[in-house]
Amino acid sequence: MISLDSLDSLPHLPGCYLFLDSPGDTGNPGNIIYVGKARDLKKRVNNYFQKQDHGPRTAALVQAIKAVDFIVTNTEVEALLLENTLIKKHQPRYNIKLKDSSRYACIHLTEEKFPRIRISRKTQGQGSFYGPFVSGKERTFVFQIVRKTFGLRTCKRLPKRACLRYHLGHCSGPCIGKITESDYRERVERAASALSGKTFELIDSMKHDMAALSARREFERARELRDEIAALERLQERQRVEHSRKYDQDIISYAIDGGNVYLMLFKVYRGTLEGKEDFVFSYTENFLEEFLVQYYSENEPPEELIAAEFLDESLVEFLTHMKGKKVHVTVPKQGEKKELLMLARKNVEICFFGDRAKLVALQEALHLPGRPEVIECFDISHLAGTFTVGSMVQFRDGRPDKSNYRRFKIQDVQGVDDFASIAEVVRRRYSRLKEEEKELPDLIVIDGGAGQLSSALRELRDLRVKVPLISLAKGEEEIYVPGLEKPLGIRKNEKASLYLQEIRDEAHRFAIAYNRLLRKKAIRE
């Protein structure tokens, strides 16, 4: 859980965000008032607070938000499914209340003499269920492909004579004895394999048909096949957040750093990820055993515990005793459970160490002697040479420290001269820090290219301030350092560059905001 002052620590990853009406504490967390999903958590959440023209309901929601929690997923589809689960569990006040609270639909192969294929919103009863599908269009594609390809029946009761679907070639005709029970079962098994993601042979055959249709210039049908193939290929990506299980699971992952244990526990109820709990405590040799005993003394153990290491037999017996029946401990090496464990680990790294990873990446990319825990960045904004202002933002431990933001009215420069303007704000900032004997940053970033960098460097040398200095040029996001004519070979999509872009963009936003403020004041005067 993070405060509203720390929204910049959110990751650029898919997942679900949860808005709370109070930051709360360990024993009394705030109420969840809204659950949403996002392709990019950071962009989506920040949009709530940056946009000004919200409707009345959203405006009321934004006013009520006091803290944010989030769960990272591997894909946006997983985020959709998790969002659905969390809304049903917590029933947040600001989420839409739907009359139909059913889950996303699945494809159901029934358990009958001649099994039928159908669409079902419930996953209870005999037979096999595949899905769920968050897209009705995609579900219909897959349903029709499998039904037609394998000739499976859809009728509730076997008719006494062949129906239209048989005459159209869409059904194998078990009702009139056109296929034996064993042959029909074989078709059902192949259909089940396709619905389980084993669709390679089917896709190859469909691609061959699509190529033949294109050669015959039947482009409309070829496009339909292309969409159906895409639906089957998406079906191959097995959903990891929601999967079919008839028992509960807990997934535990942790990291040890600086004498502390950072642990995350995913709660999975009958195959559905319902949420997470995170803990930070001091490291001891038997920390995992102590945690499990304390936690499951107050919470019922699951039927399966997925962990990164095997537990002592006596601890398994303790969990079994507390559960009242056998508790299985699984240490997966591959497959779906391994992916769930890795997803929990990913959340540990992002929630606890996301900011630190940015600092380490920047330190390595710039060959700095230590982690740049305090970074100051400067930008200039003006309107055709008027209302010229400078901004300075400070990032501390990977997050914006807004209490140390500064803004400057340019005093000694006339017209458009970014080089001289940068020189002025750098001189004013660090001459004051020296006079007051205050802390200097670990890194100074200038928005601009080699010219802006040279202007800032001259001022620092005159002040005898020895702090690593770089500049970041917009466009290709080239990083310049003193003494080198060409920019560093750091790609703009690398973690170090992305962090610098985040800082630069914040300085740019802060400068523009001040420039607009001065213009509004001038209009009112």
Report pLDDT digits (tens) over 193-226. Answer: 777 766 676 778 778 888 998 999 989 878 877 8
Cα(203)–Cα(138) distance, integer angstroms = 15
Question: Are the C-beta atoms of residues 500 and 362 closer than 8 Å to each other?
Answer: yes
Q: Where are the alpha helices (DSSP H) in 102-236?
A: 136-150, 164-167, 181-195, 200-215, 219-236
Q: With a threshold of 0.75, does the pTM exceed it?
A: no
DSSP annotation of 281 reads: E
Which residues have a Cβ under 8 Å from the Cβ of 458 and sit 6 or more positions away?
Answer: 423
Q: Residues 35, 37, 41, CA angle at the centre, nearest 5°?
A: 110
Give the residue carrying structure tokens 């808005």.
19
β-strand partners of 278: 264
Cα(255)–Cα(350) distance, integer angstroms = 11
Which residues have a Cβ under 8 Å from the Cβ of 414 and sit 6 or more positions away?
Answer: 385
Cα(373)–Cα(441) distance, integer angstroms = 8
Cα(330)–Cα(320) distance, integer angstroms = 14
- Residue 448, classed as helix, strand or coil, is coil
What is the C-alpha end-to-end distance of the chain, expressed in Å?
44
Domains of the chain plus CATH, in order, are 2-90 (3.40.1440.10), 106-236 (no CATH), 249-359 (3.30.420.10), 374-524 (3.30.420.340)
Supply 456's token pair.
């800032």
Question: Are the C-beta atoms of residues 221 and 320 closer than 8 Å to each other?
Answer: no
Cα(366)–Cα(364) distance, integer angstroms = 6
Neighbours of 488 (CB within 10 A): 15
Supply the pLDDT for residue 29. 63
For residue 295, which of 326, 263, 269 has the smallest C-alpha distance? 263
Supply the pLDDT for residue 238. 40
In this structure, the chain runs to a length of: 525
Give the residue carrying structure tokens 């492909």.
145
Cα(368)–Cα(470) distance, integer angstroms = 11
Q: Residues 348, 279, 69, CA angle at the centre, nearest 5°?
A: 65
Q: How far is CA 279 from CA 19, 116, 298, 299, in A?
A: 20, 48, 15, 15
Residues of the chain with pLDDT under 50: 26-27, 98-102, 237-244
